[in-house]
């Protein structure tokens, strides 16, 4: 795996104990045949360093955080930037970027507030399989 400072592609930070979040990471991996994305849990050392470097909350894990080209994207904007880079028809969802962020984020926040209730929560962060470990920062 490349060190974080040499990887030039997008890095997705996610809640490592959230079943919806880890399922989303697996969904992205299956639709990222060029392996552009790298991943780290928000709870990981790397995730905490990114959050601190960008003056983001290091204790609340209710948003996807996408680090891409030195910029941080969160919530629905992060999800749409991710969809734009996936294979298949998923890039078509990027059209929703024209919807004002306060509307998109209201929907995102509703799902984020209920994700543990609807999808469950793990006791510890999800660990990738050995063949996927190269895509993850610790």
Give the pLDDT score at 6: 58
Give the pLDDT score at 73: 96
Cβ–Cβ under 8 Å, residues 77 and 104: yes
User: Which pLDDT band holds residue 121 (cuts at 50, 70, 90)?
Assistant: confident
User: Which pLDDT band holds residue 125 (cuts at 50, 70, 90)?
Assistant: low
* Nearest of 39, 132, 36 to residue 84 by alpha carbon: 36
CA distance 136 to 138: 7
Residue 131 reports pLDDT greater than 80: no
User: Which pLDDT band holds residue 96 (cuts at 50, 70, 90)?
Assistant: very high
User: Which pLDDT band holds residue 7 (cuts at 50, 70, 90)?
Assistant: low
User: Which pLDDT band holds residue 102 (cuts at 50, 70, 90)?
Assistant: very high
3-state secondary structure of 135: helix
Give per-residue burial for 28-49: e unless 16+ CB within 10 Å, then b: beeebeeeebbbbbbbbebbbe
Average pLDDT of span 22-46: 93
């Amino acid at each position: 795996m490349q060190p974080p400072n040499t990887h030039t592609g997008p890095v997705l930070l996610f809640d490592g104990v959230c079943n919806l979040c880890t399922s989303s990471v697996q969904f992205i991996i299956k639709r990222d045949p060029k392996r552009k994305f790298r991943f780290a849990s928000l709870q990981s050392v790397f995730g905490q360093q990114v959050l601190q470097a960008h003056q983001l909350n290091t204790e609340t894990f209710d948003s996807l955080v996408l680090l891409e080209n030195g910029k941080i994207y969160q919530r629905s904007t992060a999800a749409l930037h991710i969809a734009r880079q996936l294979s298949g028809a998923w890039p078509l969802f990027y059209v929703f970027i024209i919807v004002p962020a306060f509307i998109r984020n209201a929907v995102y926040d509703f799902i984020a507030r209920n994700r543990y209730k609807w999808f469950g929560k793990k006791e510890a962060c999800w660990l990738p399989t050995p063949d996927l470990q190269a895509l993850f920062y610790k």
